[in-house]
Amino acid sequence: MSASSQVAWVTVECRLTKRCTRRRARALRLGRARQTCLARVSADVSPLGRLHMTLKSMFTDDVMYSPRAQVINQIVALGLIVFFVAALKIKVGLPPAIIVGGSAIVGFLRWRVTNLRRVINPIKTTTVFLLTTAALTVHMYEEHTRLFGPAMSRLFQIAFPDTRFLQIFVFILPTIYYLTAIGLLIRIPLAAFVAWFIFVGPGIAEFTHFIVPLIRPALEPDNPLAIDAVINGVRIDGMANHHFAVTGKYYFPGLYTAIIPMIPGIYGVWWLLRNRNQGADRRLKGTSASGRP
């Protein structure tokens, strides 16, 4: 290569080096300017905006499903179980408290090994949950029209009039169901515990309706007619005897529709256990990471 060619190559190399240096300096200046701009914007955010940013950071999976959050959620869930079981024991009686408490404990244990630690397809979980609660509403209509509360009162000698049945199971609990559906959609772990309770309790545990006609009532077991009585200071009318040995009819209020909430409830339990290792971070077939199809 001639001397003139070498000089030309060196000149070109120097120009390229200077150009790259200028570009790097420009990129560095732009980066610093961007950081300064973001800092100014952050400083100018209103208190409401800061609150929104804080809440948004709190409702991330890394925060809500952290080891510390899992411990807190379990403590809250156990506290809710104790509270509602005690309330049922005081307001209604021991047998319903045992049924509800047992279902809640089973649901709690299954929740711990499934969607306490990770989100499992929130859209499908919410869909199955709402199907179960809708079926449960149909079931409770039969229980209300056939006086489930008074029948339980005669069976176990507990104060469970129909008005109390309506207050608890038709008005208070559905409010919790609606909030649970919202919680499932925004991926709150505690909502998944309530869903598990519904799948196990008002879902699977409805099979008890097929057993109670075989239980001898605590009040006037040999009298086939409906009776009225005062139990624990509460007057209860229309307490029918549904003992199969006395009536010859295998029935108890809610028996005909008991299978309806059991179908989605059993499916919900099966599906969650089957997919317990497939969280939102490991995408389900045909769904996005958020659980949307």
Residue 41, pLDDT score:
45
Cβ neighbourhood burial of 164 (10 Å; 0-12, 13-18, 19+): middle
Give the whole-angstrom CA distance, residue 159 versus residue 149. Answer: 8
| φ/ψ of residue 228, rounded to 5 | -120, 145
More confident residue, 26 or 132: 132
Span 209-247, pLDDT tens digits: 999 999 999 999 999 999 999 998 899 999 999 999 999
Kindly report the average pLDDT of the chain as a whole number.
82
Alpha helices, H only, the chain: 3-44, 47-58, 61-64, 67-91, 94-112, 122-145, 148-156, 162-165, 173-185, 189-198, 244-247, 259-274
**Residues 117-132, mean pLDDT to the nearest whole number:** 93
Give the whole-angstrom CA distance, residue 40 versus residue 27. Answer: 20
Please tell me the pTM assigned to this model.
Answer: 0.74
Residues comprising the chain, all counted: 293
Span 71-118, pLDDT tens digits: 999 999 999 999 999 988 888 888 888 988 999 999 999 999 998 888
Give the whole-angstrom CA distance, residue 125 versus residue 195. Answer: 8
207 HSE (CA, 13 A, CB side) = 9
Percent of the chain with pLDDT over 70: 74
